[in-house]
Structure 1
Amino acid sequence: MSAADRMAALLTTQTRQRVDFGALAGAADAGDSSLANSPRRRRILADAARTLATRGLATLPKGKDGWDHSAHPPLPRWVRRPPATRPPGRQPTPRAYVEQLAFATTMYLSTADHALLGPINALLRDEPDAEVVPLADRSYQLYGDEKRLKNIERHHLVTKGFLNLTTHLRARPTPAPLAMFELGPAPWLLIVENTAAFTSLREILGTWPDRSQVGWLAFGEGDHLIASLPTALTSFRERHHPVNTMLLYADLDLDGLRCAQKASERARAAGLPPLQPALGLYQALLNQTPRVHPPATTDDAHTAAAWLPPELAEPVTELLTTGLVLRHEALALPQLRTLLNPASPLLHQIRGGATSQF
């Protein structure tokens, strides 16, 4: 076995892409007791390195720093194994689908797509009128895993309109409920994104002198708020306490405003009243001291602030692009208590004169 062969054998056992040439030289020495003391050793090792490169088993360094020039011929300090080749993808075996999934027979689908559709196909074939159940229940039934369909609404077949939860999966999402507190009988709901502000407002509204002015207070943030908004309808129905006004108080930063926009869209899709910004709280928040934050681009700031009416959108856009944000904590409990005056109508103070157009 040649020095190149012994080096090649060692390369097959390595897991790292880059292999020290000293280890390869050691493998050559171990297979030939005379090589270590041979005056031609350096030449033999250099020839072996070139042979590895010629065979496509290793890539030699390109830069001068990758070579040892202390003697002639120069030797590489390391070699790089070629990246592992991926086996060619296999086209899934064609299969028969029920009429509702006929799209699967005319478009290219991955093995994972077919693995998803197989149990759904069996459900539609055997129980085409199956009761619509919680998504986690259906996931467990079809795949033996209650979380298998957790993010199915983001799957490309769903987002492109090919797969429908109700029609094909006979299932419905069951998000965690929105945390809601019925503080009074008034027909409005205020959603607060931050726990500190929520706790402060709950304390203030819980002791409001005129209880007829107080409605619902809810806590929700980020993806949880967006997913859980439709559950508010159940709370309204169970308590026989519907609302005609829904307001949101989120942080004045990109994340908070983007969440507000998505939540507003979700509320509209669920048949809830329009989700309006709590302008009275926002106007007061804008008068507080902002904190430094990496600046947003003009486009990002303008798009995020579009949820607010023009008189707030403009200063908020300027705030975000100059590298500042305003979080709820800037409008602390004492300021909130001063802002909300029991001598004035509560909803008007929270809305700040907002109308249903927002």
Structure 2
Amino acid sequence: MSQMQAVFLPGNKQVEVRSVAVPEVGPDDVLVEMHASCICRSDLSLYYGSAVVGGGAATGGFVCGHEPAGTVVAVGEAVTEFNTGDRVAVYLAIGCGVCEHCRRGDMHLCPKWKCLGFTTDGGNAEYLKVPAQNLLKVPASMSPIAAAISTDAFGTLFSACRKVGVNGLSRIGIWGLGPMGSSGVLAARALGGQVVALDPIAERRAFAASLGADLVLDPLDPQAGDKIQEFSGGHGLTGAIDCSGNTAAHNMALDALAPLGRMAFVGENAETTIHPSNQLIRKQVTVFGSWYFGINEYQDILRTIEGHGIDLERLATHTFKLEEAETAFRMFDERQTEKAVFVR
């Protein structure tokens, strides 16, 4: 077990599967044998060579992959809460452990944080070494693919839904129905909200409807805004989540919000243009960014998945072996897949 296969993204659409040493665990570390590791849209920033996390530090020098799940195969001498054989997902943010954000469970907000797959080695490999505190125990009934998707995809949207305040009285709009938006449909419905889901791709709309969306719309339909108003009884949406990063979607969502509504920006975009006077100020709307989730939220994430019988494997449209990484990233980049997962 001295060598393993691992995937690197050096940029310019290059994908390299290299043989590297299996990492040795330190006192506080664990070694996880990977069984599933997802490709995320943010990985394409590494694929192209313009990482959205880490800036110049993230140049493809690390094993990629920030949505991993597997089985613990070795533990450091100081590790007491995990054992070999434990089935786990992995939290992507490694924090300093002592700042106010880490102590609150928000390691992804730590000023010294490292991100799996971007600024430290990630999960697109046969094995992954991480601090034991980053492990997320999963139930025996949860498959490795579901465990991997429960983190960045579902967990991020679960957290966004809670920040938006989704409950049984909510009317929520979700723009962009890739894996994130589809996860948002599942999370918002599980939390009791009525959901209108919007995407210009007909297949994505049909899939969102099968996941329980109350109304699916093509945002390019000139009547879409009127249909949202009808859906909301003429009052507007109580909440909106944008997973597209598209400026037109930002404006459409803000226009659709009711007074005192809340909107989460989830989709990446370097810049956008909105109209603060009419969209924010006059309606006293709250707009915020929502990225990933606090590690302290994971038990609620699991309870929601289990309690509502949510089948996260439905979101995985394609699976690949590590040696197929070049094909996997090319197909993902060309949108021939939705959620793509490396499996062993």
Higher relative contact order (CA 8 A, sep 6+): 2
Q: TM-score range by the shorter chain?
A: under 0.3
TM-score (normalizing by structure 1): 0.26
- Structure with bigger helix share is 1
